[in-house]
Amino acid sequence: GQQVMQIPQYQHVQEGEDFTTYCNSSTTLSNIQWYKQRPGGHPVFLIQLVKSGEVKKQKRLTFQFGEAKKNSSLHITATQTTDVGTYFCAGPPGTASKLTFGTGTRLQVTL
C-alpha cells in the first residue's frame, strides 16, 4: 500500500530560525494537503496543493508540490513559538475520498 514518510521526525529550533519538513510518497498523488496539530489538539487543515510544481505561500509558510507529484515540502521562515506543533502531509493514493497521512514532523521552538 501507499506509504508517506516525513523527515525529520523531530526538529528543535530557536525562535527566528527557519524550518523545513519534507514529505515523500511511494506513489504519485493527485493532490497533497498539509495539517498542523498543536500539542494535545486535533489536526487542522493548512493548505492543499494540486498542480505539479505548485508553490503556495501563507505569510511565513511556503508549501511546494514536487514536479513528479510524489513529494512536497513545508518551509517556515523565522519561526515563532506559535509554530510549535506537529506538521503532517496527507495525500490520496487513488480514490480522492481517502487520505493517507505522513508520519509527521514535530517542531519545537524555544526563545
Backbone angles phi, psi at 25, to 5 degrees: -105, 145
At closest approach, how far in Å is the CB of 15 from other proteins?
A: 26
Between 75 and 92, name the residue whose CB sits nearer to other proteins: 92
Kindly state the cell numbers that stand for 72.
512536497
CA atoms of 27 and 20, how far apart (whole Å): 22
Residue 64 or 86: which CB sits closer to other proteins? 86
**What residues make contact with other proteins under the rule CB under 8 A?**
1, 6, 9, 30-31, 33, 35, 41-45, 48, 50, 88, 90, 92, 95-104
CB 77 → other proteins: shortest distance, Å? 24
> Using CA atoms in the order 48, 84, 13, 101, what is the torsion angle rounded to 10 degrees?
-40
